């Protein structure tokens, strides 16, 4: 065991003896752990720290931005100057996601509805 591990264990044991962990939320309930089996063991701690800090991996950040742009395009009129900018950015994000191997079907739903409305004459 490394020196830092011994130091941490000592502080945890001291805190337990003082009762510092008694009034924490979720006390006495099982811990729900994320499935991180696909993450290499040596990177799990770093990934958990980044996740707890609110950081998203680039692919998921792009996906989140694409969903936001998709919702924005649904609210804008197609003659609005922002519509063209948002549409171009969405195309770039879609290509980037597809190149990264992600499925972009989540962006297709409203386009299908728009096409059906157009064919129905609405």
Res. 121 pLDDT band, cuts 50 70 90: confident
Q: Which of 112, 95, 117, 116 is nearest to 104 (CA)?
A: 95
Domain borders along the chain are 58-120
- Residue-wise pLDDT for 67-94, tens only, equals 899 888 888 888 888 989 999 999 999 9
What is the overall mean pLDDT for the chain? 84
Phi then psi for 27, rounded to 5 degrees? -60, 130
Rounded-to-5 percentages of helix, strand, coil across the chain: 65, 0, 35
Q: Could you report the per-residue pLDDT of 2-47, keeping only the tens digit for each? A: 889 999 999 999 999 998 888 888 888 888 777 777 778 888 888 8
């Amino acid at each position: 065991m490394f020196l830092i591990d011994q130091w941490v264990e000592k502080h945890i044991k001291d805190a337990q003896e003082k009762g510092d962990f008694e009034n924490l939320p979720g006390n006495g309930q099982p811990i729900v752990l994320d499935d991180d089996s696909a993450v290499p063991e040596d990177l799990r701690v770093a990934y958990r720290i980044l996740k707890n800090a609110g950081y998203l991996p680039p692919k998921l950040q792009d996906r989140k931005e694409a969903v936001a742009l998709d919702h924005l395009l649904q609210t804008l009129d197609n003659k609005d100057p922002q519509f063209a900018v948002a549409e171009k950015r969405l195309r770039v994000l879609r290509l980037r996601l597809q190149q990264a191997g992600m499925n972009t079907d989540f962006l297709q739903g409203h386009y299908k509805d728009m096409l059906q409305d157009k064919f129905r004459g609405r």
